[in-house]
Structure formats: C-alpha cells, structure tokens
Amino acid sequence: MKKFGYYKKLNARQRRIYDQSDTVTSIRLPAVAPLHDSATRLALALGADDRAATQTASQRLVDGLLHRLRVMPVQVHVLAVRPTSRREELHGQYQYGGARQRPLITVWMRTAQRRQVVAFRSFLRTLLHEVVHHLDYQMLRLEDSYHTAGFYKRAESLYRQVTPAELQAGPEADDASMEARGAGRAAPRGAPAEGVTPTSRDSSAAAGKGLRRRPAVPVVAAGGEPTRRRTPRRKAAGPAANNAPEQPQLPFLDFE
C-alpha cells in the first residue's frame, strides 16, 4: 500500500507501528442486523436535530460494535457546534488515560460556520473514525494509532457493515473524505485546537496524520475489568521480525 508523505519522517520504531497498522485492511463484524437498527435510529435522531437522542443512538451503536469484537467499552459524548481554531474545525476526538475511568469519544453534530446539523454519513464516519483509534489500542494492541491507508480502510469497512444500504447513499456535503484531509503530513506541532488534550486523538479538517505517543491507558485484564498499565513493546523474535510487521492473530481482522 502507498505510504503517506509523513512516513519518511518517522523513526524505525514509528515505521514499524505504521506498517503494522497498514497491513490490517478490514474488521469483520458478526451479526450486523441489530447494528443496522442502531444506525437507523442515529439517522432519525440527527434528522430531528435531537442531541440527547443522537448521543443515545451513538452510544448504542458503539456498544453493540465493541461487544461483537469483545473489546472494552468506550463512553460517547455528542456535543453541539464543532469547536474551531485558526487552523481547523474539530469533528471528533478520542481520549484515553489519565484519571479517566473509560476511554471517551466526543463528536459534534453541528458545523462551525453555518451551525447546520452534520449529514448522517459524515457524522457516522467521524464516529467510526474515533472507534478505529480505540480499536488500534485495545484490539490491535498498537503502541500508537496512526492515520494510515489501512486505518482508513478499517474505518470504511466498519461503515459499510453497520450502515443499511438505503442510508449509504445520501448527502455528505461537509465531508470530502477524511483520508483526503491533510494527506501526506503529520498533525501540526504547537498548540492543539480547543478541547484537544495531549492524550487525545482528533478528526478535523486540518489535522492530518496524528502522531502522538501512547500514555498509560486502560486495557482489559483477566475477568474483563480494566486496569492501568502500558502495553509492553513487542520484542523481535529474530532477524525475520525486522522484515515484516507482526500480525495479531485475531478472528475479525483481514490483512493485505
């Protein structure tokens, strides 16, 4: 797969993580029919401009998706108008670590300039984009979650599976595909946009390929209870390990 432009700026450890992410091209979901119902409810809530109902439907959809993948849950918050800075309009954000008991996904349902309700397809793609960051850490056990071609393919595979066919065609005026935004450059250094913390991942109109070191994060321990620790770095088993990225042996993943 073609590498994004910022790949050449990565060190050897970061390139290894990038390559691991790039090889996983889809995530297969079992029993998606109930998720179609959740996606339909989400579309209706957005159409009614009902923030509380949109948050409930988003949480239900994400809960159902993560339950099927046997991954620890994440809390979803839906807020109104997207925050902006001089450089960007924030669409979504994934936060983890620190004093937070559960990882948090935040998405905004109104555009910054016109304050219009975001189109269903754009909103759902943003929500699933943040879910893929969560899966990178909790399912693939990556040390960092980079925006790679594989990352965007995983997000698209989830979108195609959870969205009923009749909802996959429709307006998406404010989303020219996240993959096209900032392709080939790293996230800007310096002050983050309003609402972005050092322990977060964000989707925005200007944020390109985010590069941020993973802090201590909650992971599922024996018995299903989250515990705080760093996921240990993988050690190469021998010379061959330096030539190809390690592929986690998980039943729901497809590799390229």
Is 116 contained in some domain?
yes
List the domain range (segments joined by +) for residue 200.
11-167+191-213
**Where is pLDDT greater, at 186 or 124?**
124
Identity of the residue numbered 3: K
Is 185 contained in some domain?
no
Is 160 contained in some domain?
yes
Is 172 contained in some domain?
no
Among 114, 113, 135, 111, which Cα is nearest to 123's? Answer: 111
**Where is pLDDT greater, at 117 or 204?**
117
Is 175 contained in some domain?
no
pLDDT tier at 87, thresholds 50, 70, 90: confident
Asked if the model's pLDDT at residue 57 lies above 80, the reply is yes
- pTM (2 decimals)? 0.73
Within a 10 A sphere around the Cβ of 54, how many other Cβ atoms?
26
Is 23 contained in some domain?
yes
**Where is pLDDT greater, at 211 or 202?**
202
Give the integer Cα–Cα distance in Å for 137 and 96: 10
pLDDT tier at 175, thresholds 50, 70, 90: very low
Asked if the model's pLDDT at residue 252 lies above 80, the reply is no
Among 96, 124, 123, which Cα is nearest to 110's? Answer: 123
Asked if the model's pLDDT at residue 189 lies above 70, the reply is no
DSSP assignment of 61-81: HHHHHHHHHT----EEEEEEE
How many domains does one find in the chain? 1
Six-digit token pair at 192?
A: 């983050």
Mean pLDDT over 40-64 rounds to 98
pLDDT, tens only, 132-161: 999 999 999 999 999 999 999 999 999 999
Residue 39 buriedness (CB in 10 A; 0-12 / 13-18 / 19+) = buried
Is 97 contained in some domain?
yes
Q: What percent of the chain has pLDDT over 70?
A: 66
Is 173 contained in some domain?
no
pLDDT at 100: 74
Among 16, 56, 27, which Cα is nearest to 241's? Answer: 16
Mean pLDDT over 13-42 rounds to 96
In contact, 90 and 60? CB cutoff 8 Å: no
Ranges 96-105, 112-121, 235-244: which has the least confidence: 235-244
Supply the DSSP symbol for 55.
H
Give the integer Cα–Cα distance in Å for 77 and 2: 34
